[in-house]
């Protein structure tokens, strides 16, 4: 959409998109290229051209990468797969300003961070910015397969009838599921509860990290998407958690990813923290013995 919008505005050569190290945008050929991680690209043939990767949260690198062929910037406000790494709010504001300065489009991938996950409907709201294009999925269907692209008129009109499409686009059943999810998420008080429960989880994980410095070295995230960077292999911690009955997944940078459902209760959080604490105690025992 961003490329096509540039084409429509007469900038036919402006097709390059600036992306970030640690990004994950999907597994179609173009989104693999936007992801830029050789691990995912191996074996899928020539990489789609036109995606320039720069370090995350580094505005000088972004400015250096902007050229006459740049169409826009795509970023996850909170990198999920990359290791639960939040973009600095000022960085997001600076990206918006740079896009305005150079006439570029700002596209946000809110597939993981959106639909209430961080305590706002979209994570970029914390920075107070207005993006041009937003990709949403995962939580938007509450488990039912649904994805959506939101865009300002300038970008949206580039995909008029006949320019783009998909067999299942606009599927009424999926949209009904999405509507039902939004009824819950936008109900008064729901997002404030996500923020509050995120703080409860945050405090519990902080305490765990303080108590087990041989297991965890960093804690980051927002709302109900939090990550613990592990000292030893994250897989060991994940397996120990699983043995206690707690489902947690891993992310880049050796990070344990904690992403409970938004309807999680305080009792669930307390139980999950207790399970994780038991698991971590088992992992820590040999590490602490070795340190002595």
Question: 3-state class of 218 per DSSP?
Answer: strand
Nearer Cβ to ligand PLP (112/250): 112
* Least gap, CB of 35 to ligand PLP (angstroms): 8
Q: How far apart are CA 202 and CA 224, in angstroms?
A: 9
Nearer Cβ to ligand PLP (40/190): 40
* Least gap, CB of 98 to ligand PLP (angstroms): 22
Bridge-based pairing state of the strands 133-136 and 148-151: antiparallel
* Least gap, CB of 106 to ligand PLP (angstroms): 16
Q: In what order do the strands lie in the sheet with 133-136?
A: 51-54, 16-20, 70-75, 105-109, 133-136, 148-151
Q: Are 166 and 124 in contact (CB under 8 A)?
A: no
- What residues have CB less than 8 Å from 82, skipping those under 6 apart? 21, 22, 23, 24, 56, 76, 251, 252, 253
Q: Which two tokens stand for residue 240?
A: 């120990």
Q: How far apart are CA 232 and CA 287, in angstroms?
A: 9
Q: Residue 132: beta bridge partners? A: none
Q: How far apart are CA 279 and CA 238, in angstroms?
A: 9
The CB-nearest residue to ligand PLP is: 26
Alpha helical stretches, state H, 11-76: 29-35, 38-41, 59-65
Nearer Cβ to ligand PLP (111/273): 111
* Least gap, CB of 68 to ligand PLP (angstroms): 28
| Residue of 1, 62, 64 lying closest to 30 (CA atoms) | 1
Q: Which residues bind ligand PLP (CB under 6 A)?
A: 24-27, 31, 76, 80-81, 109, 111-112, 137
Nearer Cβ to ligand PLP (98/137): 137
Nearer Cβ to ligand PLP (219/257): 257
* Least gap, CB of 212 to ligand PLP (angstroms): 28
Nearer Cβ to ligand PLP (32/283): 32
Q: Are 73 and 62 in contact (CB under 8 A)?
A: yes
Nearer Cβ to ligand PLP (14/138): 138
* Least gap, CB of 6 to ligand PLP (angstroms): 22
* φ, ψ for residue 287, nearest 5 deg: -65, -40
* Least gap, CB of 29 to ligand PLP (angstroms): 11
């Amino acid at each position: 959409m961003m490329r096509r919008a540039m084409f429509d505005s007469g900038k036919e050569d402006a097709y390059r998109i600036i992306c970030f190290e640690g990004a994950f945008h999907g597994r179609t050929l173009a989104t693999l290229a936007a992801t830029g991680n050789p691990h995912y690209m191996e074996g899928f043939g020539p990489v789609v051209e036109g995606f320039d990767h720069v370090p995350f949260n580094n505005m000088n690198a972004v400015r250096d990468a902007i050229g006459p062929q740049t169409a826009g910037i795509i970023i996850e406000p909170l990198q999920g797969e990359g290791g639960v790494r939040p973009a600095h709010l000022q960085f997001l504001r600076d990206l918006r300003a740079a896009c305005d300065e150079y006439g570029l489009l700002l596209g946000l991938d809110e597939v993981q961070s959106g639909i209430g996950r961080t305590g706002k409907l979209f994570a970029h709201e914390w920075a107070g910015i207005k993006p041009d294009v937003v990709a949403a999925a995962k939580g938007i269907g509450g488990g039912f397969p649904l994805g959506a692209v939101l865009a300002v008129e300038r970008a949206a009109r580039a995909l008029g009838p006949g320019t783009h499409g998909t067999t299942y686009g606009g599927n009424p059943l999926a949209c009904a599921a999405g509507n039902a999810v939004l009824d819950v998420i936008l109900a008064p008080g729901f997002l404030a509860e996500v923020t509050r429960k995120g703080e409860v989880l945050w405090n519990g994980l902080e305490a765990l990290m303080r108590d087990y410095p041989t297991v965890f070295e960093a804690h980051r995230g927002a709302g109900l998407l939090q990550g613990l960077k592990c000292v030893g292999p994250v897989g060991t911690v994940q397996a120990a958690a699983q043995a206690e009955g707690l489902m947690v997944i891993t992310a880049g940078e050796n990070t344990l990813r904690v992403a409970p459902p938004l309807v999680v209760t305080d009792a669930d959080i307390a139980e999950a923290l207790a399970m994780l604490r038991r698991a971590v105690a088992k992992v820590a025992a040999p590490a602490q013995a070795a340190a002595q």
